Amino acid sequence: MMLAGKRILLGVTGSISAYKSALLVRLLVKAGAEVQVIMTESAQTFITPLTLSTLSKRPVLSQFVANGQTGEWTNHVELGLWADVLVIAPASARTLARCANGLADDLLSAVYLSARCPVFFAPAMDLDMYQHPATTANLARLSSYGNHIIKAEYGELASGLVGEGRLAEPETIVQVLAAHLAQRPELAGRHVLITAGPTQEPIDPVRYISNHSTGKMGYAIARAFAMAGAQVTLISGPTALPLPALGVRRIDVRSAQEMFTAAAAEFPTADVLILNAAVADYTPVHVADRKIKKKETEFALELTRTTDIAATLGAQKRPGQWLMGFALETDNEQANALSKLQSKHLDWIVLNSLRDSGAGFGYDTNKITVMDKAGQTHAFDLKSKDAVAQDLLDLVANALTAPSV
């Protein structure tokens, strides 16, 4: 979503890992970006311009003079002004040296010198080349100019050696670019604490009480805030979802009590607490240490209330902290949500209704209504959970920058 409509120059240089640029172009285009590929002459020995022009839906550029008969030339200055981001991936040792020393003897290095946008280098080369003092000095110099380095990864290299030098995976490069473009200054350095997923309340070593939460909404929120520059701590119940974004600190818990303990420990340093987890309201009083055998026709469990995380932490809220809770309702939706907003000292309550098609557990979409302590109601249409997360981020960011009353 963060890459939609963004104009990205992709420089591809002479490295065996140039073949990965095809997947990188595909991922960028799929994310909605406009991609213009520039190839060095040596890059074309590893992957053809036809492949990348087909995927990018634009002619690949490689020469200053695009048409030798007419004298039509490629304006490197216009390209540098056109782009929102220039990413050189793979960046060979030769290209790093060219750019670090201000040479403009090919189209890509000339575009680099003309670019006014953020520039990212993703180096790729053999182990000894990557560790050579000349390469490390060039990377340090490029970084000192304000460029961004996407570090090479550890693994088996084309030479057969094992070590650092592999091009960062295309998915990682896309994530780094998206995170940069999503930065929000008002969230920089803010500690955002988020709970997500279900809890599991054990009955015996085999069975537990839980709910249908997948964690998708909470993980989307964590991803949005992390990409916007916040320091995100995600307290997650059991879920199969991967880490939502680079830099997110995830604390895995299982039960409601474990989630409360983790949230209470992190809350004092949090600027924003977003309670999205579907936490069990009740837990078994007694947990059997062995599997309960099937004997009787009927079986009863004695349950006790779990700690209300929102109410407990809401009562401890200090000035300057912001709390957002969630309410999944099936009837009297707004009345029940407003009651939670007020009784738990929240700043916002996000209402989901199971009556809305495409909302609730398991879906990739959601439809929310947000009510705040000032009495305002914000209703949103059905949209992807990533888009919903962005709406919630906007509400929080606006509150953080609003003048104190």
Specify the CATH number for the domain of residue 267. Answer: 3.40.50.10300
pLDDT digits (tens, 9 = 90+) for 5-49: 899 999 999 999 999 999 999 999 999 999 999 999 999 999 999
Q: Nearest to residue 147, comparing CAs of 178, 105, 112?
A: 112
Of 117, 148, 181, the one marking the end of a domain is 181
Cα 230 to Cα 9, 168, 180, 361, distances in angstroms: 27, 23, 12, 26
Residues 304, 228 within the same domain: yes
Q: Active site includes 138?
A: no
Residues 207, 104 within the same domain: no
Cα 39 to Cα 62, 152, 313, distances in angstroms: 5, 20, 55
Could you report the average pLDDT of every consecutive run of 10 residues in the chain (405 residues)? 87 95 97 95 95 96 68 72 94 96 92 93 94 96 95 88 92 91 87 97 94 94 92 97 92 98 97 96 94 84 95 94 90 87 95 76 87 92 92 93 63
Distance CA 110, CA 49 (A): 19
Q: Say if 58 falls within a structural domain.
A: yes
The pLDDT value given to residue 405: 44
Kindly name the residue from 75, 147, 211, 336 that is annotated as catalytic.
211
Specify the CATH number for the domain of residue 35. Answer: 3.40.50.1950
Distance CA 136, CA 129 (A): 9
Residues 132, 35 within the same domain: yes
Known binding site: residues? 281, 291, 326, 340, 344
Residues 207, 291 within the same domain: yes
Known binding site for CTP: residues? 281, 291, 326, 340, 344
Residues 31, 152 within the same domain: yes
Q: Total structural domains in the chain? A: 2
Of 155, 181, 207, the one marking the end of a domain is 181
Residues 86, 66 within the same domain: yes
Distance CA 10, CA 83 (A): 10
Residues 90, 125 within the same domain: yes
The pLDDT value given to residue 66: 62
Of 118, 149, 181, the one marking the end of a domain is 181
The pLDDT value given to residue 191: 97
The pLDDT value given to residue 354: 73
The pLDDT value given to residue 77: 78
The pLDDT value given to residue 131: 93
Range of the domain at 32: 7-181
Q: Say if 75 falls within a structural domain.
A: yes
Residues 167, 257 within the same domain: no
